[in-house]
Amino acid sequence: MQTGQFRTAPDAVRLIVAKEGFRGLFAGYGSFLLRDLPFDAIQFCIYEQLRIGYKLMAKRELKDPENALIGAFAGAITGAITTPLDVLKTRLMIQGQTKQYSGIVSCAKTILREEGPGAFLKGIEPRVLWIGIGGSIFFGVLEKTKSVLAERSSRKAALAEKDE
C-alpha cells in the first residue's frame, strides 16, 4: 500500500496471495528483522547513555519533557544509522514477483552497482523526523509509566507496613 499498488489492505492481501502465494505476505521478513533488531538495540543503548549523561550533568531526576527530548534524539540518531537497512528491507519487500534480488547481499550489491552508495540513504530525512517523534512519544510514555508504577508500588508497600 505504501507504493500505491493497492487501494485497501484486503485488496493488498488478496492480490499478493493470488500472485505470489501465501509466502508473498512475508516478503522481506528476514530483512525486516535485520533492520529492527539492531534498531531496537541501538536505540535503547543511545537513549540510556544520553539519559545517564544528562542526569549526571543535571544532578537530579529528569522531568518528563527532558525524557521525551532525549527519546527524540535517540530515535533520530538510530533512524539515521539504520536507514541503509531500511532501504534494503523496503527494496526486498516491494520487488514482488520480479525477484530482482535473491537476498539481502544481492540487493545491496545491485543497489551499490546501479545507484551508488548514496542510494542507501534514500528517505533519511523523513525517517529521522518520524522516528524522532516516535522516540519522543515512546520514551516519554515509558518513563512516565515507570514513575507512576514505582510510586504506586511504594504507596502499597507503605500501606502494608502500616498494617503490620
pTM above 0.85? no
Q: What is the mean pLDDT of the chain?
A: 90
Contact 88, 122 (CB under 8 A): no
Distance, in Å, from the CA atom of 46 to the CA atom of 112, rounded to the nearest integer, reads 29
Length of the chain (residues): 164
Alpha helices in 59-123 (DSSP H): 64-81, 83-94, 104-115
Alpha helices in the chain (DSSP H): 9-20, 29-58, 64-81, 83-94, 104-115, 124-163
Confidence at residue 3, expressed as pLDDT on a 0 to 100 scale: 66
Confidence at residue 106, expressed as pLDDT on a 0 to 100 scale: 93
With a cut of 70, list the residues of the chain below it in pLDDT: 1-3, 28, 96-97, 164
Confidence at residue 2, expressed as pLDDT on a 0 to 100 scale: 62
Confidence at residue 147, expressed as pLDDT on a 0 to 100 scale: 93
